[in-house]
Amino acid sequence: MITEQDTETLRALRGLADRDASVRLRAAMAVGSSPDPGFVGTLVERCAVEPEFYVRDMLTWALTRHPAALTLPALLREVRSGPAQARSQALHTLSKIGDRSAWPVITRELLTDADDEVARSAWRAAVVLVPDDGMDDGTDGGADGGAENEKVALAAVLATQLGRGGQETQLSLGRALVELGDVAMPALRTAATDSDPDVRAHALATQQVLRDPDTGFGFAIEEAKRVVALGGAPVVDDEVC
């Protein structure tokens, strides 16, 4: 016998694929408001093909309303083998869930992905999921010393992407490096001496924002470009290490 709840569930699931974006948005909201294990697979699948940003964001919200034990396996599969949008949205959702047991899925390949949206989502997820000092997150920090080394290694990989893309991409990367804090400074100092002027400018701007969080990144990058164009030497702040 089909219950009223079953009918509502079927209506919501059908609504996720409706041609009208506003219907899809309401359906995602309804699914998130009444979490059910049967929704998870459809939500993840829809994330891979949903064309509207605001609907995808609601799909992510709906997934965060379900237990991580149900959502993580499906999201990790998407990150490892899905198309670009699926990987990007799954990474975004993992950053919102914030379960550090997902950290091992953040590989160098993801952090350097040729697709800017995938890479940007990977950067955001990485700084959320990277093991923190003193956290018992169930991940293996390696033989030589745990969370701090993980953050240093992450900063080093992120620094290889400095100078990449347009302003939005550079802003995303700068924010990720700033979020890591002082452990990012050595990698930024090295990048500030790079032969590529775009890399140098991006590194200098990120250093400035890390030293003074009130500095706007747009202003910092333009000032850094000016310094590089004039042949100015990178500013080294010995008090930040």
* Residue 235, pLDDT score: 47
What is the residue type of 28? A
Residue numbers of the domain that contains 35: 1-90+114-120
Is 162 within a domain? no
Does residue 150 fall inside a structural domain? no
Could you give the number of structural domains in the chain? 1
Cα separation, 70 vs 88, in Å, equals 19
CB atoms under 10 Å from CB of 172, counted, come to 21
What is the distance of C-alpha 182 from the center of its chain?
20
Mean pLDDT of the chain: 88
Looking at residue 12, its pLDDT comes to: 83
The predicted structure's pLDDT at residue 238: 44
pLDDT value at 217 more than 70: yes
Whether 229 maps to a domain, the answer reads: no
Whether residue 96 lies inside any domain: the answer is no
Q: Per the domain annotation, does 174 fall within a domain?
A: no
Residue 74 lies in a domain: yes
Whether residue 60 is contained in a domain is answered as yes
> How sure is the predictor about 215, in pLDDT bands with cuts at 50, 70 and 90?
confident
Distance of alpha carbon 150 from alpha carbon 22, whole angstroms: 42
What is the tens place of the pLDDT at every residue in 162-203?
999 998 999 999 999 999 999 999 999 999 999 999 999 999
SS3 38: helix
**In the chain, where does DSSP find H-type helix?**
4-15, 21-33, 40-47, 53-64, 68-81, 84-97, 108-111, 116-129, 146-159, 167-180, 185-191, 197-211, 217-229
pLDDT in tens, 107-159: 999 999 999 999 999 999 999 999 986 444 444 444 345 667 999 999 999 99
Q: Which of 67, 150, 164 is nearest to 106 (CA)?
A: 150
Q: Considering the domain boundaries, does residue 80 fall inside one?
A: yes
DSSP 165: S
Q: What is the pLDDT of residue 218?
A: 79
Q: Is the pLDDT of residue 8 over 60?
A: yes
The answer to whether residues 130 and 102 touch, using CB atoms and an 8 Å cutoff, is: no
How many angstroms separate the most distant Cα atoms in the chain?
Answer: 77
User: Rounded CA gap, 148 and 163, in Å?
Assistant: 25
